[in-house]
Structure 1
Amino acid sequence: MNLDLTGKTALVCGSTQGIGKAAAIELALLGANVTLLARNEEKLQEVLDELPRKKSQKHRYLVIDFAKTNQVRPKIERYLAKYPKVHILVNNTGGPAGGPVIDANPEQFIQAFNEHIVVAQILTQSVTPSMKEAGFGRIINITSIGMKQPIVGLGVSNTIRGAMGSWAKSMANELGKFGITTNNVLPGYTTTGRLQKVNEMRATLTNKPIEEVEQELIKDIPIGRFTTPQETAAVIAFLCSPAAASVNGVSIPVDGGKTSSL
């Protein structure tokens, strides 16, 4: 099975922590040159130093804040003017704040739409010319099982994840003929800072110890535990590989079986 990414360049968003960081490391292990994208330069430098370089890769980082949508296009275009070849794009943005959908204000939806859909659109438009030229491209969107099965208490997130799914499927249909695949990876309950914050919110709302909140979640996961970022990153890396050339337009939960739909 060909998993070799030697000579390929990957842009990995939200790559200073959690699944994004794990994905960047996994792609580097397969030989890719990795450019980290995030807003905290200090953390970017720390992760940059951790990336494997067994195949003499040249890793880089780009400081970019997806909350400032109007700055995304000029920053990515300046980067591509220096380093134009990109073969892999991993779209990954922190999830919107939790809460019931009925309580969300319109601005929350607009902000989340901009940070997830609009930013993904800008980045994809920017890198696809290089992918078309190479005849090889991988666009991976790290979203949530909320795309398939809405999660209670994450109303805005569920809404935006559904929009991302439709966007990605449309992109897959349009770009497949160029050797570019577009797929979604749907994390479930994963041991990240995001899950910790959501569990703390649930504990506060229900007046329960956080350990009890965690066990209530785990009881609905067939494998009996939370997923690790590294396990999710392994799926992302496979989808980026030459071996996954015919996997296009799909949404793959990595949730230990939590999602009840087929």
Structure 2
Amino acid sequence: MELGLTGKRALVLGASRGLGAAIAKSLAAEGAQVIAAARNAEKIQDWAAAEEGQIDAMQLDLSDVDAINAALDDLLKDGGIDILVNNAGGPPPGKTTGASRADWIAHFETMCANLIHVTGRVLPGMQDKGWGRVVTITSSGVEQPIPNLALSNGLRSALVGWSKSLSNEIAGDGITVNVVMPGRIHTQRVDELDAAAAKRTGKPVEEVAQSSAASIPTGRYGKPEEFADVVTFLCSERASYVTGSKIRIDGGSIKSV
């Protein structure tokens, strides 16, 4: 299937590892020109050299709005962005009662406010071209809250309401806006969460991972490539009538219809 991504310019945030890196690789393999951004650009350079297609690493700290603006100024002068993948690292695990006001504010800025800001900066160029794709990575916790991930459950849910509102406003401009919800995709982040659960419960980490996988209808964690390929399709010409949607990639783990 021809996805129509050849020559499209994509900005993938949080791309040093995990889901962001997998998305960057998948888009590049389909012919997109990918700018993979993260605080540690050297990590991107380490894996990008072995990939097919064009992937350029960019240092970008999502907690630093001045650095964000400087990076976007350069990108917008140099042709703009056709595809934006909003992806931010998750906050530490913890209960709602254990999170302070300062915790909520600090993580809201990085995980929500600055992603919304990046989107606002690149949208005018998409509108001028009459074509664009915005995909925001959240979590299965926005539909079925995940125990001990209170900050993530709350903050990523805010992105869902924003994304749906935005999709309605700009659908007539040829721009689609969608949310993708990963379940237990086997990344370093999931390994870290399993390790935290093991420490909290006193169980071996292998037992925690096996129990978690057994609770998923497919009986396993997802592969980053499986997740990334769905995102790539949503970024393509073929998905031009998909907007304002929440897409689950969770192996069936969310229990609601």
TM-score by length of 1: 0.94
Three-state SS of the structure 2 residue aligned to 1:50 is coil
What runs of 5+ residues in structure 1 fail to find an aligned partner?
none
Matched, 1:131 2:126: yes
Matched, 1:170 2:165: yes
State the 1:60 CA deviation. 2.3
Deviates more, 1:71-80 or 1:160-169: 71-80
Partner of 1:72: 68
State the 1:190 CA deviation. 1.1
Deviates more, 1:218-227 or 1:59-68: 59-68
State the 1:178 CA deviation. 0.3
Residues 75 and 81, structure 2, Cα contact 8 Å, conserved in 1: no
Distance 1:158 1:202 in 2: 17
Residues 12 and 23, structure 1, Cα contact 8 Å, conserved in 2: yes
State the 1:30 CA deviation. 0.9
Partner of 1:12: 12
Q: Which amino acid aligns with 1:79?
A: L
Partner of 1:22: 22
State the 1:84 CA deviation. 2.4
State the 1:152 CA deviation. 0.2
1:163-221: CA deviations, max 9, x gaps?
01001111111111101011011111111111111111110110000111112211210
Residues 15 and 37, structure 2, Cα contact 8 Å, conserved in 1: yes
TM-score by length of 2: 0.96
What runs of 5+ residues in structure 2 fail to find an aligned partner?
none
Distance 1:178 1:198 in 2: 40
Distance 1:212 1:237 in 2: 33
Partner of 1:52: 52
State the 1:157 CA deviation. 0.4
Partner of 1:234: 229
Partner of 2:217: 222
Partner of 1:85: 80
Residues 63 and 114, structure 2, Cα contact 8 Å, conserved in 1: no
Distance 1:119 1:84 in 2: 22
Residues 16 and 41, structure 2, Cα contact 8 Å, conserved in 1: no
1:224-246: CA deviations, max 9, x gaps?
00001100001100000101001
1:145-170: CA deviations, max 9, x gaps?
01111000000000011101001111
Three-state SS of the structure 2 residue aligned to 1:89 is strand
Deviates more, 1:248-257 or 1:126-135: 126-135
State the 1:72 CA deviation. 1.5
Among all aligned residue pairs of Structure 1 and Structure 2, give the percentage whose two residues are the same amino acid. 39
Distance 2:106 2:51 in 1: 31
Deviant stretches of 4+, over 3 Å: none
Report how many residues are paired.
Answer: 257
State the 1:79 CA deviation. 2.8
State the 1:86 CA deviation. 1.2
Distance 2:180 2:56 in 1: 24
Distance 2:51 2:37 in 1: 14
Matches within 5 A, 1:96-111: 96-111=91-106
Partner of 2:113: 118
Q: CA RMSD in A?
A: 1.3
State the 1:68 CA deviation. 2.0
Candidates 119, 136, 139, aligned match of 1:141: 136
Matches within 5 A, 1:151-166: 151-166=146-161
1:63-107: CA deviations, max 9, x gaps?
1111223431232113322x2231100000100110011110111
